[in-house]
């Protein structure tokens, strides 16, 4: 809060026909937080951004179903919007319906949206009188949600009057609103009876919708109705969800569109800006057919909608209640269950956030830099947290497309000099807003065709001969080598090669002749990765001459910390290919994860490309550019599609995000759940590869340090010749987009890059300082800030060579498909250094991430039978074992005979700090499916601070299990925890094996590893 004055109590005698606007006036008069007293009942209304930010804290507050929503429950019951937080159907329906609002589903709905938009346009084309904007927007959005969500056509534009469903719905909403102002004892029987009839009619229409769908025999699950009918939701709840979506899915969107058109008509300059945008996209095409991707290019149009929703958010309030006793803003006591209502239009008018004239319609408030600088909870048109509007992407896509199409096609005349009157029926929309429309006759802009100009390198050939192919094979467990293989393929494509990328096992029977083969491989404990086991087995057994004349190159990826097995597999592949008659193109590359990994990959790539040009270069393209003067590329898809394709990722929607640790605990761990798109599956202990983004504050800081305008557009064309075309950029990008998505600003340059920076620096003292910087200790932005003379030397081409491309990070999935096959859970350490964890720790429900499921090693698959299990984890290493425990609970619930015992050793700091998913583990132990053995480093029991100590203490219990064939699975930190656990098991062996020494213990443990009975999935080493 801005001051410590008491909260004003404002008593009113009655509400008006516009109660929300009445509260807005009270807040204008008395300040941004008040208690309104009506008929003896107080309601706390809040519009102060700082207080709203507190109310949005999911740890302290939750959605409150207050009196207004209680009234809506009279006809929507436990639908998503009106369900209580603890009602089982809320979580069940939310999980069922979330996939319907993933990006892939949005693409499915787009043709339906376009089809209904055409209905509106045909109606307006035929109009001889002014059009009723709110009414026609309602017709359009009702038909869209009916068809897209439920396969039901309300055919609203074939009616002279609004569909009876709309009329009954509006009356139900009005009844809900006016019921709030009733005095006790007044007679409202007639109103209640009329409401009862309307509610019954809504239910009957929805029952008809459900019946029509079931009678059709359709069993697909590509829309809301299909998902619900294919789930375990009961008929009553499906009806409630349909009513909810038919109301929320069209009433609010239609209001947003009507407000946006009103503001554009009243602000001709903004209207012209949107016209310029749509004309640049569609030119003078009379009836454009917007593609899904084109809607994403309508940035100014979207800003107009965002600003209209700022001034008049159509769902204008949401309520929150305290989870526990707390104090709001340090001065407003709230007991558990006490509620506050956020008045969103007034939150959106706070001068401290929105400037001195917050009533002014100004879409530039949603320029990217303005959004980045704004507090995250200052703009809330869709509610907050996991109970925020599930369909906001649907609504914004539909509204953006239609608004752009209308602006492109029509001129608008404010024939009535309309003054805004806002109608309230719990939602908001302009009342009585009509426009005269006519076709636009002047079209000046034409659609711009993207083009890229490619320069050839001086000297030798710049491209290979037509038809030159390259096969890039990878051996990868966690995706690193797969990513490097994709980068190498892209680099070879940059010099004209036709590149194919595949796992090594795809060629386990032999390598093809006629094209170079590049192998990118790693080892795991000295053994091949899961996707390379078949290939290496063939390679060892192959006879002399099996790869005669095949040109090849090998890039090995490893970590010198594992000195005994470092580069073992790629080294053996390189040796055997030579022995079998292969033609080595270049010396084997060695990329060390503990050294300058990126620099080594770049060096190998440059050497390889030069060799390919020497061997296969087109002499006609030596020295001077050949071929056409321009290379013209037609672009499709979104701005990150090329990046997603490069790493085999798809958009996934975050459906839940919360802290797993206590509020006062410094090393925060977060829970993140994503909805898996249709067709994407996973198995317990699999991994999720996630492409991070740099935080906006770091992007802005870097741009400022480089003296770059974040909105400057860059055309990035890889140089023709031997260089690493690692950036997956297929179109011009802004500086902000480049720094956010395509380069890793958190990477710390190694020795080679530091030497180059020192050589580039024109200031001798700074040169010396740079040479003294230890490799891997500072990011490039940090180095530029500390050595400002670098700025003039760091041109964009130099920067792109120095900055590491953004690469996916891999996380163990912490859930089980036996519980929920449509979602994957993650545990993320927010305190962990690095771009990936920081990004995932910042995501919130509704955000989209680019991700892909990656299988874990088969050796790490846990089976539940007669073999005892010993599971060892620390911190977020618990992730795969949470899924394992969930599997065992599901088996027990299904009546499966009890498997052999499972012991789970879990290391954390304290039981009241970071005992992750402690309640779940306690429940599982109570059910007898696992024995949990925690070790608390800050609250040790009997001296057991870490899991290895607890293992040593339990040696007498563990040894018989190991003698029975128990399998040990370890997940956690590779540098401290994993070695400590190995030492504990070796000590256990020595203690229980007479005459055994340390060497015998090492041999015993190595045998367990070889036999797949001791398996690690560790990180950070």
User: Could you give the residue numbers annotated as active site?
Assistant: 252, 382, 389
Q: Residue 699: count other Cβ atoms within 10 Å of its Cβ.
A: 25
What's the CA gap between 616 and 609, in Å, rounded?
A: 10
How far apart are the two ends of the chain, measured CA to CA in Å? Answer: 46
Look up tokens 């001791």; give the residue. 1014
936 - beta bridge partners?
A: 908
Burial 186-203 (b: 16+ CB within 10 A, else e): eeeeeeeeebeebbebbb
CB-based contacts of 128, cutoff 8 Å, min separation 6: none
Asked if residue 670 lies in contact with residue 511, where contact means CB atoms within 8 angstroms, the answer is no
What's the CA gap between 795 and 797, in Å, rounded?
A: 6
CB-based contacts of 926, cutoff 8 Å, min separation 6: none
CB-based contacts of 738, cutoff 8 Å, min separation 6: 714, 716, 729
* Torsions phi, psi for 9 (to 5 deg): -105, 120
What's the CA gap between 135 and 789, in Å, rounded?
A: 62
Provide the edge-to-edge strand list for the sheet that holds 339-343: 9-12, 33-38, 41-46, 339-343, 317-322, 61-63
- Comparing CA positions, the residue from 559, 426, 404 lying closest to residue 481 is 559
For residue 817, what are its two tokens?
A: 């498909």
Q: How far is CA 198 from the centre of its chain?
A: 41
What's the CA gap between 755 and 9, in Å, rounded?
A: 67
What's the CA gap between 730 and 636, in Å, rounded?
A: 9
What's the CA gap between 768 and 334, in Å, rounded?
A: 59
Backbone dihedral region of 870: left (phi > 0), alpha (psi from -120 to 50 degrees) or beta? beta
713 - beta bridge partners?
A: 734
Q: Residue 69: count other Cβ atoms within 10 Å of its Cβ.
A: 19
Asked if residue 542 lies in contact with residue 505, where contact means CB atoms within 8 angstroms, the answer is no
Sign of CA dihedral 545, 547, 551, 553: negative
Asked if residue 117 lies in contact with residue 402, where contact means CB atoms within 8 angstroms, the answer is yes
Asked if residue 147 lies in contact with residue 435, where contact means CB atoms within 8 angstroms, the answer is no
Long-range residue pairs from 935-943, CB within 8 A, at least 24 positions apart, any chain: 935/905, 935/906, 935/907, 935/908, 936/908, 936/909, 936/910, 936/911, 937/907, 937/908, 937/909, 937/910, 938/909, 938/910, 938/913, 939/909, 939/910, 939/911
The response to whether 389 counts as a known ligand-binding position is: yes
Asked if residue 676 lies in contact with residue 652, where contact means CB atoms within 8 angstroms, the answer is yes
Q: Are strands 469-475 and 498-503 parallel, antiparallel or unpaired?
A: parallel
Q: At what angle do helices 235-266 and 392-409 cross, to 10 degrees?
A: 40
Percent helix, strand and coil across the chain, each rounded to 5? Answer: 45, 20, 40
CB-based contacts of 86, cutoff 8 Å, min separation 6: none
Residue 327 burial by Cβ neighbours in a 10 Å radius (0-12, 13-18, 19+): exposed
- DSSP string computed for 851-898: EEEEPPPGGG----SSS-EEEEEEGGGGHHHHHHHHHHHHHHHTTPPP
Q: Residue 451: count other Cβ atoms within 10 Å of its Cβ.
A: 11
Annotated binding-site residues for heme read: 389
């Amino acid at each position: 809060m801005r001051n410590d004055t008491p909260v004003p109590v404002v008593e009113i005698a009655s509400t008006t026909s516009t109660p929300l606007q009445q509260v807005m006036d009270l807040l204008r008069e008395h300040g941004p937080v008040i208690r309104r007293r009506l008929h003896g009942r107080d309601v706390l209304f809040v519009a102060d951004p700082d207080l709203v930010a507190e109310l949005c804290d999911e740890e302290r507050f939750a959605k409150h179903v207050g009196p207004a929503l209680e009234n809506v429950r009279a006809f929507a019951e436990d639908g998503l919007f009106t369900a209580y937080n603890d009602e089982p159907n809320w979580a069940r329906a939310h999980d069922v319906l979330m996939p319907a609002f993933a990006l892939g589903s949005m693409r499915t709905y787009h043709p339906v949206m376009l089809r209904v938009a055409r209905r509106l346009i045909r109606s307006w084309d035929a109009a001889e009188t002014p059009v009723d904007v709110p009414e026609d927007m309602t017709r359009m959005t009702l038909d869209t949600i009916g068809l897209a969500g439920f396969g039901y056509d309300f055919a609203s534009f074939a009616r002279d009057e609004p569909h009876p469903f709309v009329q009954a719905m509006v009356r139900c909403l009005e009844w809900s609103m006016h019921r709030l102002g009733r005095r006790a004892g007044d007679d409202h029987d007639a109103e209640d009876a009329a409401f009862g009839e309307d509610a019954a009619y809504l239910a009957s229409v929805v029952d008809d919708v459900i019946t029509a769908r079931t009678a059709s025999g359709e069993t697909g699950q590509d829309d809301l109705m299909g998902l619900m009918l294919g789930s375990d939701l009961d008929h009553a709840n499906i009806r409630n969800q349909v009513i909810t979506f038919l109301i929320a899915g069209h009433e609010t969107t239609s209001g947003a569109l009507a407000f946006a058109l009103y503001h554009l008509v009243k602000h001709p300059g903004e209207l012209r800006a949107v016209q310029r945008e749509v004309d640049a996209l569609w030119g003078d095409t009379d009836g454009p057919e917007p593609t899904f991707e084109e809607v994403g290019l309508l940035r100014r149009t979207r800003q107009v909608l965002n600003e209209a929703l700022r001034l008049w958010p159509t769902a204008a309030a949401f309520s929150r209640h305290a989870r526990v006793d707390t104090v709001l803003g340090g001065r407003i006591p709230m007991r558990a269950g006490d509620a506050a209502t956020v008045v969103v239009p007034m939150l959106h008018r706070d001068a401290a956030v929105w400037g001195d004239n917050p009533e002014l319609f100004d879409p530039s408030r949603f320029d990217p830099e303005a959004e980045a600088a704004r507090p995250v909870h200052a703009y809330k048109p869709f509610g907050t947290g996991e109970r925020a509007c599930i369909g906001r992407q649907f609504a914004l896509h539909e509204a953006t497309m239609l608004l752009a199409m209308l602006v492109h096609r029509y001129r608008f005349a404010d024939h009535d000099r309309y003054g805004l009157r806002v109608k309230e029926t719990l939602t908001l929309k302009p009342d009585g807003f009509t426009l005269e429309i006519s076709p636009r006759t002047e079209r000046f802009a034409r659609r711009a065709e993207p083009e890229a100009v490619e320069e050839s390198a001086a000297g030798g050939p710049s491209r290979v001969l037509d038809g030159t192919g390259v096969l890039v094979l990878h051996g990868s467990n966690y995706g690193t080598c797969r990513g490097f293989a994709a980068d190498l393929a892209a680099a070879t494509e940059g010099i004209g090669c036709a590149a194919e990328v595949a796992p090594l096992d795809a060629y386990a029977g032999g390598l093809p002749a006629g094209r170079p083969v590049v192998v990118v491989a790693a080892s795991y404990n000295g053994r091949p990765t899961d996707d390379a086991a078949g290939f290496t087995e063939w390679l060892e057994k192959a006879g002399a001459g099996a790869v005669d004349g095949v040109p090849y190159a090998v890039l090995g990826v490893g970590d010198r910390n594992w000195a005994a097995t470092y580069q073992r597999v790629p080294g053996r592949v390189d040796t055997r290919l030579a022995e079998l008659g292969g033609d080595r193109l270049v010396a084997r590359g060695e990329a060390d994860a503990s050294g300058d990994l990126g620099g080594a990959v770049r060096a190998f790539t440059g050497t390889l490309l030069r060799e390919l040009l020497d061997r296969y270069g087109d002499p006609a393209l030596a020295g001077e550019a050949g071929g056409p003067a321009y290379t013209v590329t037609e672009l499709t898809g979104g701005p990150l599609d090329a990046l997603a394709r490069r790493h085999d990722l798809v958009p996934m929607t975050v459906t839940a995000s919360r802290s797993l640790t206590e509020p006062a605990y410094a090393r925060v761990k977060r829970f993140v759940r994503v909805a898996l798109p249709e067709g994407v599956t996973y198995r317990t202990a699999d991994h999720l590869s996630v492409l991070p983004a740099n935080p906006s504050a770091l992007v802005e800081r870097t741009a400022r340090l480089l003296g770059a305008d974040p909105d400057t557009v860059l055309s990035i064309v890889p140089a023709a010749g031997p260089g690493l075309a690692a950036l997956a950029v297929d179109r011009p990008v802004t500086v902000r987009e480049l720094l956010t998505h395509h380069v890793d600003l958190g990477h710390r340059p190694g020795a080679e890059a530091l030497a180059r920076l020192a050589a580039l620096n024109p200031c001798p003292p700074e040169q010396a300082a740079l040479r003294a910087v230890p490799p891997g200790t500072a990011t490039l932005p940090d180095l530029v800030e500390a050595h400002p003379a670098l700025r003039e030397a760091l041109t964009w081409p130099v920067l792109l060579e120095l900055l590491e491309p953004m690469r996916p990070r891999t996380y163990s999935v912490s859930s089980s498909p036996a519980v929920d096959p449509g979602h994957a859970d993650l545990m993320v350490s927010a305190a962990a250094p690095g771009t990936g964890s920081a990004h995932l720790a910042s995501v919130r429900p509704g955000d989209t991430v680019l991700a892909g499921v990656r299988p874990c090693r088969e050796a790490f698959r846990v089976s539940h039978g007669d073999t005892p299990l010993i599971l060892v984890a620390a911190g977020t290493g618990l992730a795969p074992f949470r899924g394992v425990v969930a599997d065992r609970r599901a088996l027990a619930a299904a009546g499966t005979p009890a498997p052999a015992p499972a012991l789970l050793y879990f290391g954390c700091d304290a039981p009241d700090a970071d005992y992750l998913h402690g309640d779940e583990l306690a429940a599982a132990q109570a059910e007898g499916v696992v024995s949990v053995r925690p070790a608390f480093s800050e609250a040790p029991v009997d001296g057991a601070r870490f899991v290895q100590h607890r293992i040593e203490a339990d040696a007498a219990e563990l040894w018989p299990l190991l003698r029975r064939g128990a399998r040990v699975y370890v997940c956690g930190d590779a540098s401290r925890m994993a070695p400590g656990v190995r030492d504990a098991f070796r000590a256990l062996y020595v203690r229980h094996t007479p005459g055994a020494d340390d060497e015998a213990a090492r041999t015993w443990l190595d045998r367990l590893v070889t036999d797949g009975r001791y398996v690690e999935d560790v990180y950070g080493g």
